[in-house]
């Protein structure tokens, strides 16, 4: 017997034989196949999909899923120093409580009436991010930082009418690849070098690449290497004198204690909110933000939804709706700004809850404690023989640790660390030119003295 | 407005708290949480940390977040959740094209497990074998569903999958020395992103309109193909719900002219196991895991796309793919013509995981039953909606509809002056959502209903009663409809701030600047 003759699946109520028969009778058919009669035989799939046997009971499904996931090892079972665009931060219980509410989890694209709460919470997300970044406009989240950076660059192309973007080569390799694909073949991507000691932008390389076709410079601060750029305002002045824009990508958590890009001349800031109250999910909870000043020439170039506050017909009642909807591809297809669709709104909600909980004092303390723990880690690691910090500049959260003087490769070191219950830093040897046997270590509020000392001790024994 | 007992309509009223904007809750000195301070031993070694930063880098004033105690924050966001009509609460079939269906709770429990939620994308492969297995299995599953040869699970959404399709197609032509192919053909009843995401890649867009029966016009396609044409992106059935039976002729016309064909299967809910991309002659296709495959929509994401290709396009896919070598799952970055990365890391894992669980619950026969019942439900609604005085489905001609129908209120609008916009607002008074966005209005006063397989006949009947009731009100008490909503969260919104740069306010700080501290 076929499945649907044997079992009514819990997810498909109208499979119930009596209901199905009644509905078929009402529409005048004797077999559901009649509804497919417009699909000709040669387009029909004649075979059977070769899929695993259905696990229709929830218990069987749970066992199966637990079995597969049981092969994973979570960061709670080890000490992890992995970062590089996704990092392990504490997520307060209220965040999970809110984003797992059915109302938020299962809503989609209701009108600003029945989905008033969705509009308001994302407006509040935009508003909190605006305070963090000291910018006036922030979008409903896009896919990830890579997408946010790529879109920021295309916005700059449209604003300036120029076809080249300079990108500092201390960018994450993943994001550089995303940007190259997103810009091709419309824009040229030209890399700007960095100073080999400080890790900061090489001003000579920047000036040498400036031309009348440069729409913008995109750089990350902190860079993928964790390095903080000290010449932001000087760079901005150079760019603006050239008629170019400055786009800065950042982990927004760094703006807790580091001056945000708007305060040293940036025209657009972008980045990822995974660090603001989102679990890691194997890198699946990234969500990108784009922030600008409230100028029409910027606002009208956003492809994303922008939720705005409004009055209603009742005095004192808050309403919300879409600002400048007609710029989007929903309204005007390919004549819109890039494209828009379902992206990552729920992670905007987690970040709104998270930033609300932190408040101004909490976020400052959080930034401070991350810096303290990072400095302590750097100190402990640089005490080890043959180990040194690759760059001399101040860093936030991440730093590049150079193992090339140890006589061991990062692959070997990380394998031995894993045996000792530690996920060592990301190996940069293959992915970043000029950083052989270097690893990217990320330190957050999750790392106490015990964990950091454990790393130092493990490394000491591994390198002995 | 009270509903008489005996009707299937509800005397609904949405929660309405008149909740403040978060910033209005600011009370200086309150705290939402404390931070775990650095150990004393750490402070002894590094001091306050901040003074290690160059002065020029330091933030001088903390962000002006509101200061609110923990309970009030909790209450605030829970109230806002009550101001949101999630799919779990309503008969959410008025969001046609979006396949809003039941999102099983067990899948949420699984996805929240620390073994899923608390893994880092750069962990050693030996410690994420389960995650890699799920991604690999999804590749295999979608090969079966589509007939394609290889899938990437990296796209972040359907629109993103379209961008990835356009990127793969472009790279293919470049490698074959045909980078002059810069035109892409799509149809007006394919999703706006089929045109818009391809345009990002520099494509000039040619849009085909329907013939008098509602099919994309084959003659128009023949006129559009040529040496500059890169390919075709098309949906089938299109957003109006009609299956194009000559789709293989479309793909042949494009192939004969040297182009590739991409199948937008964002919504495949009516045809699982019935007809596939392979038989129709497509080279690329994609599915939305948050639509057909049961993952929740999360207020507009996270989403995920599964994008598949025929063998000759596999070397162009984004990296990495997940291979199975002996009993081990491993990432393969070695694709000779890869377009590179299109998303950081490996895809939207929680969504992939939930969809995998959904598919595993149903199996092959279950997936077919999903489609068969979705189509039955749709044709049941079609019969009853077209019986409503004032509603109709355009493009008559005895054709079946698959998983959804685009309807029109044109007759009602002509007779009463009440159309889609007003009806959308009034439906909210009964706990229903009816979507208003189908730009451009090729079908006048459009609305699209897509029942999926999830809703019982009784629920479909309830929704039908809502449509009937409002259509009747349009004739008997039109002012009631025009003044709606009354029992939703808020009353009619003054849209005048939305398109005026002097007034729009995307953030609280700009609201204060423009409207309070002028």
Residue A375 with chain B: CB contacts under 8 Å: 45-46, 49, 52
Tally of structural domains, chain B: 2
d(CA B79, CA B87): 17
CB contact under 8 A, A45 and B456: no
Task: Output the CA torsion sign for A392, A252, B353, A178.
Answer: negative
Say yes or no: A445 contacts chain B, CB-CB below 8 A: yes
Q: Does residue B299 sit in the same domain as residue B380?
A: no
Give CA–CA dist B14/B81, Å, rounded: 11
**Packed helices A345-382 and A116-133: angle between N→C axes, nearest 10 degrees:** 30
Chain B neighbors of A352, CB-CB under 8 A: 22, 77
How far apart are the C-alpha atoms of B343 and B318, rounded to whole Å?
Answer: 9
Buried residues in A77-93 as b, exposed as e (16+ CB within 10 A): ebbbbbbbbbbbbebbe
Domain range for B442: 365-495
Query: B59 and A85 in contact by Cβ < 8 A?
Result: no
One domain for residues B239 and B113: yes
Q: Which of A61, A138, A282 to mutate to test the interface with B (most CBs of B within 10 A)?
A: A282
Partner-chain residue, chosen from B119, B202, B376, that has the shortest CB–CB distance to A282: B119
Ordered mean pLDDT values, 10 residues apiece, chain B (518 residues): 74 96 98 97 97 96 98 98 96 92 98 98 98 98 98 98 98 98 95 95 96 91 98 93 95 98 96 97 98 97 98 98 98 98 98 98 98 98 97 84 94 97 96 82 91 98 96 97 97 96 98 95
Closest CA of chain B from A86, distance in Å: 7
Task: Name the architecture of domain A79-88+361-463.
Answer: Alpha-Beta Complex (3.90)
**Average pLDDT score over chain A:** 97
In this complex, the residue of A65, A260, A360 whose CB is nearest that of residue B65 is A360
Out of B48, B85, B439, name the one closest to residue A107 (CB): B85
CB-count exposure of residue A379 (10 Å: 0-12, 13-18, 19+): middle
How much is the pLDDT for A4?
47
Cβ contacts of B369 on chain A, cutoff 8 Å: 3-4, 9, 12, 15
We report the CATH number of the domain holding residue B382 as 3.90.1150.10
Q: Do B49 and A423 touch (CB under 8 A)?
A: no
> Do A48 and B364 make contact, defined as CB atoms within 8 angstroms?
yes
A50 contacts B77? CB cut-off 8 A: no
* A331 pLDDT more than 80: no
Q: Does residue A425 surpass a pLDDT of 80?
A: yes
Going by C-alpha positions, the residue among A277, A365, A339 that lies closest to residue A87 is A277
Q: Which residues of A touch B159 (CB under 8 A)?
A: 339-342
Site from B13, B43, B84 to mutate, A interface, most A CB atoms within 10 angstroms: B84
CB of A47 within 8 Å of any CB in chain B?
no
Residue at B465 is within a domain: yes
H/E stretch holding B110: helix B105-112
- Nearest-neighbour CA in chain B from A209: distance (Å): 25
* Three-state SS at B280: helix
Confidence of residue A332 (pLDDT cuts 50, 70, 90): confident
Domain end call among B361, B384, B399: B361
In a domain, B29, yes or no: no
Residues B352 and B377 in one domain: no
Over its C-alpha atoms, chain B yields an Rg (Å, rounded) of 26
The alpha-carbon gap from A38 to the nearest alpha carbon of chain B, in Å, equals 6
CB nearest A342 (choices: B118, B279, B300): B300
Same-domain pairing of B315 and B402: no
Q: How confident is the model at residue A1 (pLDDT cuts 50, 70, 90)?
A: very low
Same structural domain, B380 and B412: yes
Q: Domain extents for chain A?
A: 1-48, 79-88+361-463, 93-354
- Check whether residue B337 and residue B438 sit in a common domain: no
Kindly state whether residues B357 and B370 are assigned to the same domain.
no
ipTM reported for the complex, 2 dp: 0.98
Among A36, A61, A76, select the one facing B357 at the smallest CB separation.
A61
Query: Do B228 and B298 share a domain, yes or no?
Result: yes
A386 CB neighbour count, 10 Å cutoff: 12
Contact check, Cβ <8 Å, A51/B73: no
State whether A177 and B341 contact (CB < 8 Å): yes
Question: Are residue B422 and residue B340 in the same domain, yes or no?
Answer: no
Is A342 in contact with B54 (Cβ distance < 8 A)?
no
Domain boundary among B335, B361, B387: B361
In B, minimum Cα distance to A29 occurs at B376
Would you mind telling me the total number of residues written for chain A in this entry?
Answer: 464
For A88-109, the pLDDT digits (tens) are: 999 999 999 999 999 999 999 9
**Does any domain span residue B370?**
yes
Q: Dig out the tokens for A189 from the structure.
A: 């991507």
- Residues B345, B445 within the same domain: no
For chain A, the three-class secondary structure string (H helix, E strand, C coil) is: CCHHHHCCCCCCHHHCHHHHHHHHHHHCCCCHHHHHCCCCHHHECCCCCCCCCCCCCHHHHHHHHHHHHCCECCCCCCEECCCCCCCCCCCCHHHHHHHCCHHHHCCCCCCCCCCHHHHHHHHHHHHHHHHHHCCCEECCCECCHHHHHHHHHHHHHHHHCCCEEEEECCCCHHHHHHHHHHHCCCCEEEEECECCCCCCECHHHHHHHCCCCEEEEEEECCCCCCECCCCHHHHHHHHHHCCCEEEEEECHHHHHCECCHHHHCCCEEEEECCCCCCCCHHHCCCCEEEEECCCHHHHCCCCCCCEEEEEECCCCCEEEEECCHHHCHHHHHHHCCCCCCCCCHHHHHHHHHHHHHHHHHHHHHHHHHHHHHHHHHHHHHHCCCCCEECCCCCECCEEEEECCCCCCCHHHHHHHHHHCCEECCEECCCCCCCCCCEEEEECCCCCCHHHHHHHHHHHHHHHC
Tell whether A382 is within 8 A of chain B (Cβ): no
User: What whole-number distance in Å separates Cα of residue A175 and Cα of residue A146?
Assistant: 5
pLDDT tens-place string over residues A158-210: 999 999 999 999 999 999 999 999 999 999 999 999 999 999 999 999 999 99
Closest CA to B193 of B161, B149, B229: B161
pLDDT in tens, A339-369: 999 999 999 999 999 999 999 999 999 999 9
Would B384 be classed as within a structural domain? yes
For the cut 70, the answer to whether the pLDDT of residue A5 exceeds it is no
| Domain CATH for B349 | 3.40.640.10
Mean pLDDT of the A32-60 span: 97
Distance CA B108, CA A105 (A): 10
Q: How many CB pairs under 8 A join A and B?
A: 736
Write out the CATH class of domain A93-354: alpha beta
pLDDT score for B435: 86
Cis peptide upstream of residue A304 (ω within 30 degrees of 0): no
Q: Are strands A388-389 and A398-402 parallel, antiparallel or unpaired?
A: antiparallel
Per-residue confidence (pLDDT) for residue B395, from 0 to 100: 80
Q: Is A17 exposed, middle or buried (0-12, 13-18, 19+ CB in 10 A)?
A: exposed
Please check whether residues B372 and B351 belong to one and the same domain. Answer: no
Considering only CB atoms, A321 lies closest to which of B59, B158, B498, namely B498
Looking at the structure, tell me whether residues B265 and B397 fall in a common domain. Answer: no
B506: in domain = no
Task: Tell me if A23 and B380 make a contact (CB, 8 A cut-off).
Answer: yes
Poorest-confidence range of A57-61, A424-428, B1-5? B1-5
Q: Determine how many CB atoms are found less than 10 A away from the CB of residue A1.
A: 7
* Contact state of B275 with A39 under an 8 Å Cβ cutoff: yes
Instruction: Tell me if chain B has a CB within 8 Å of the CB of A151.
Output: no
**What was the pLDDT predicted at A354?**
98
Among candidates A220, A79, A49, which has minimal Cα distance to A148?
Answer: A220
């Amino acid at each position: 017997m076929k499945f649907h003759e044997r079992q009514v699946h819990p997810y498909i109520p109208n499979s119930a034989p009596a209901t199905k028969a009644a509905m078929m009778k009402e529409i005048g058919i004797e077999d559901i196949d009649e509804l497919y009669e417009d699909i000709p035989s040669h387009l029909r799939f004649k075979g059977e999909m070769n899929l695993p046997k259905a696990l229709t009971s929830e218990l069987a499904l749970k066992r199966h899923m637990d079995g597969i996931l049981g092969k994973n090892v979570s960061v709670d079972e080890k000490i992890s120093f992995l970062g590089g665009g996704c990092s392990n931060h504490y997520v307060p219980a209220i965040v999970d409580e809110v984003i797992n509410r059915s109302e938020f989890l299962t809503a989609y694209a209701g009108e600003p009436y029945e989905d008033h709460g969705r509009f308001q919470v994302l407006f509040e997300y935009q508003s909190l991010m605006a305070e963090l970044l000291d910018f006036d406009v922030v979008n409903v989240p896009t896919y990830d930082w890579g997408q946010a950076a790529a879109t920021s660059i295309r916005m700059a192309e449209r604003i300036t009418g120029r076809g080249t973007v300079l990108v500092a080569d201390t960018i994450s390799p993943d994001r550089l690849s995303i940007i190259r694909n997103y810009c091709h073949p419309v824009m040229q991507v030209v890399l700007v070098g960095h100073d080999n000691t400080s890790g900061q932008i090489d001003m000579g390389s920047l000036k040498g690449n400036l031309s009348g076709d440069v729409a913008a410079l995109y750089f990350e601060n902190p860079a993928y290497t964790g390095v903080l750029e000290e010449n932001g305002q000087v760079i901005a002045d150079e760019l603006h004198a050239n008629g170019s824009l400055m786009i800065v990508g950042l982990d927004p958590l760094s703006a807790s204690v580091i001056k945000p890009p708007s305060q040293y001349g940036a025209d657009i800031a972008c980045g990822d909110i995974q660090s603001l109250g989102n679990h890691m999910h194997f890198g699946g909870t990234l969500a990108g933000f784009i922030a600008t000043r409230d100028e029409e020439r910027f606002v009208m170039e956003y492809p994303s939804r922008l939720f705005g506050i409004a009055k209603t017909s009742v005095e004192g009642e808050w309403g919300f709706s879409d600002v400048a909807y007609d710029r989007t591809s929903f309204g005007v297809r390919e004549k819109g700004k890039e494209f828009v669709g379902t992206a990552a709104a729920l992670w905007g909600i987690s970040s709104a809850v998270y930033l609300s909980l932190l408040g101004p004092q909490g976020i400052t303390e959080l930034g401070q404690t991350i810096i303290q723990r990072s400095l302590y880690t750097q100190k402990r690691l640089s005490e080890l023989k043959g180990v040194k910090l690759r760059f001399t500049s101040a860093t936030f959260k991440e730093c590049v640790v150079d193992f090339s003087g140890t006589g061991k490769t990062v692959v070997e070191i990380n394998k031995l660390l894993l045996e000792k219950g530690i996920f060592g830093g990301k190996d940069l040897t293959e992915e970043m030119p000029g950083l052989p046997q270097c690893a990217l270590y990320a330190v957050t509020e999750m790392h106490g003295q015990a964990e950091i000392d454990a790393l130092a001790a493990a490394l000491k024994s591994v390198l002995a | 407005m009270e509903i008489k007992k005996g009707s299937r309509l509800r005397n609904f009223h949405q929660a309405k708290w008149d909740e403040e904007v978060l910033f209005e809750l600011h009370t200086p000195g309150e705290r939402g949480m404390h931070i775990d301070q650095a150990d004393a031993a750490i402070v002894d070694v590094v001091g306050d940390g901040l003074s290690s930063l160059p002065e020029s880098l330091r933030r001088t004033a903390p962000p002006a977040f509101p200061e609110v105690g923990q309970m009030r924050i909790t209450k605030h966001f829970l109230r806002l959740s009550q101001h949101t009509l999630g799919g779990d609460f309503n008969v959410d079939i008025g969001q046609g094209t979006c396949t809003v269906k039941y999102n099983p709770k067990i899948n949420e429990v699984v996805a929240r497990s620390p073994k899923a939620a608390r893994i880092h994308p750069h962990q050693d492969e030996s410690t994420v074998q389960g995650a890699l297995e799920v991604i690999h299995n999804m590749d295999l599953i979608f090969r079966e569903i589509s007939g394609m040869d290889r899938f990437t699970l990296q796209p972040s959404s359907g629109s993103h999958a379209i961008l990835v399709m356009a990127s793969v197609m472009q790279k293919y032509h470049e490698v074959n020395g045909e980078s002059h192919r810069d035109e892409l053909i799509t149809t007006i009843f394919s999703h706006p992103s089929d045109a818009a995401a391809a345009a990002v890649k520099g494509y000039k867009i040619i849009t085909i309109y329907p013939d008098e029966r509602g099919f994309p016009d084959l003659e128009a396609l023949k006129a559009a193909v040529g040496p500059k044409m890169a390919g075709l992106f098309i949906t089938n059935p299109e957003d109006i719900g009609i299956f194009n039976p000559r789709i293989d002729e479309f793909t042949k016309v494009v192939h004969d002219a040297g182009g590739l064909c991409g199948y937008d299967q964002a919504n495949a809910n009516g045809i699982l196991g019935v007809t596939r991309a392979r038989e129709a002659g497509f080279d690329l296709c994609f599915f939305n895991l948050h639509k057909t495959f049961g993952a929740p929509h999360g207020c507009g994401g996270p989403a995920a796309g599964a994008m598949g290709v025929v063998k000759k396009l596999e070397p162009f896919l984004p990296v990495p793919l997940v291979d199975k070598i002996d009993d081990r799952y491993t990432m393969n970055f070695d694709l000779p013509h890869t377009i590179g990365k299109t998303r950081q890391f490996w895809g939207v894992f929680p969504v992939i995981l939930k969809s995998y669980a959904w598919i595993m619950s149903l199996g092959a026969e279950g997936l077919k039953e999903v489609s068969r019942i979705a189509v039955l439900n749709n044709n049941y609604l079609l019969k009853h909606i077209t019986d409503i005085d004032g509603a109709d489905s355009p493009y008559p001609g005895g054709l079946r509809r698959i998983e959804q129908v685009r309807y029109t209120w044109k007759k009602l609008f002509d007779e009463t002056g009440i159309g889609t916009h007003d009806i959308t607002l009034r439906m909210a008074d009964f706990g229903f959502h009816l979507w208003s966005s189908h730009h451009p209005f090729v079908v006048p006063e459009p609305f699209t209903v897509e029942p999926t397989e999830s809703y019982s006949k009784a629920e479909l009947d309830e929704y039908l009663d809502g449509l009937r009731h409002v259509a009747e009100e349009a004739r008997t008490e039109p002012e009631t409809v025009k003044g709606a909503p009354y029992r939703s969260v808020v009353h009619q919104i003054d849209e005048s701030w939305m398109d005026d740069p002097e007034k729009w306010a995307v953030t609280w700080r700009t609201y204060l600047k423009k409207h309070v501290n002028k």
